[in-house]
Amino acid sequence: MKKNTIILSFIILLFSCKNNSESNGKLNIVTTTTMITDLANNIGGNLVNVQGLMGSGVDPHLYKASEGDVTKLVNADIIFYNGLHLEGKLIEVFEKMESSNKTPIALAEEIDKNTLIGSEYFASNYDPHVWFNIEYFKQFAIKISKVLAEKDPKNAANYKENERLYLAKLDSLQEKIETIIDTLPKEKRILVTAHDAFNYFGKNYGFEVVGLQGLSTATEAGVQDVQKLAAFIIQRKVKAMFVESSVPKRTIEALQAAVNSKGHNVAIGGTLYSDALGDAGTVEGTYIGMFEHNVNTIINALK
């Protein structure tokens, strides 16, 4: 029997004996990516328990549910995930749950599809890395607040206030990073990374974005991709490119070697947090800290 089949049978078994429960009267929230975990903590505060399935450095494209995760999902009052097939290996688990009374909520599905960047890499037909558009992340915040208020009406005013405070922080973040990016001349705004996570970032801040591995890390970069991108870097005189905390370094290192062998020096400008935040408890372990870190790293390396 395949591992997936075992897990799916496990879910059905657990659901059939599960009663609705709350621990210490608090809502149990389960989230997938670290960005969503951080957001749920900001909106829920100490009124909720948030358990994130994925930690720092974890690649959501490749992440598979463990049996421990399934237990957390079954015990959850609310499940928030990104959707648009970001969590490609969890879709089957979530679809199975939709037929139960607990529907996992795909936050990115709330966004107006006409504004999304299309992609043929994903079954969703859209680029799922939407958190790099701060306006979209604000929509995530509003949705989470709304769902918490519905499930826990006695604390609705608190969730609404947390939402208001967090949205204000996101507005300040937006202003701050626009000021920093304004210092980088337009012709230097070329962002070469391990995989294509930064298209929404590029669209908003005027960067040409090139990812070595395409939109999902599920497909490896081939020799041809490396040679093509090396030629691009030399032609456009790109000063630096970036590794990502959730993608192995070796592909970018191979690209650097290919460029350097042709006599153009390209630096590795630092590590960006793309599909996962930094370690919990650090500044980069928050969405806001991650965004500032990325922007500072990019600007310092390219200017």
Interaction site with Zn ion (CB under 5 A)? 197, 275
Nearest CB to Zn ion, comparing residues 44 and 60? 60
Q: Toward Zn ion, which CB reaches closer, 162 or 199?
A: 199
Which residues of the chain form beta strands (DSSP E)?
27-31, 48-52, 78-81, 105-106, 190-193, 208-211, 240-244, 267-272
Minimum distance of Zn ion from residue 34's CB (angstroms)? 13
Minimum gap (Å) between residue 298 Cβ and Zn ion: 17
Name the phi and psi angles at 208, rounded to 5.
Answer: -85, 125
Q: Looking at residue 236, what DSSP letter applies?
A: T
For Zn ion, the closer of residues 69 and 127 by Cβ is 127
Residues paired with residue 272 on neighbouring β-strands, in sequence order? 244
Nearer to Zn ion by Cβ, of 152 and 275: the residue is: 275
> Given the structure tokens 């405070």, which residue do they identify?
165
Nearest approach, Cβ of residue 84 and Zn ion (Å): 11
How near is the Cβ of 35 to Zn ion at its closest, in Å? Answer: 12
Cβ 42 to Zn ion shortest distance, Å: 22
Distance CA 28, CA 13 (A): 20
CA 58 to CA 48: how far, in whole Å?
24
Q: Please say which residue, 38 or 275, places its beta carbon nearer to Zn ion.
A: 275
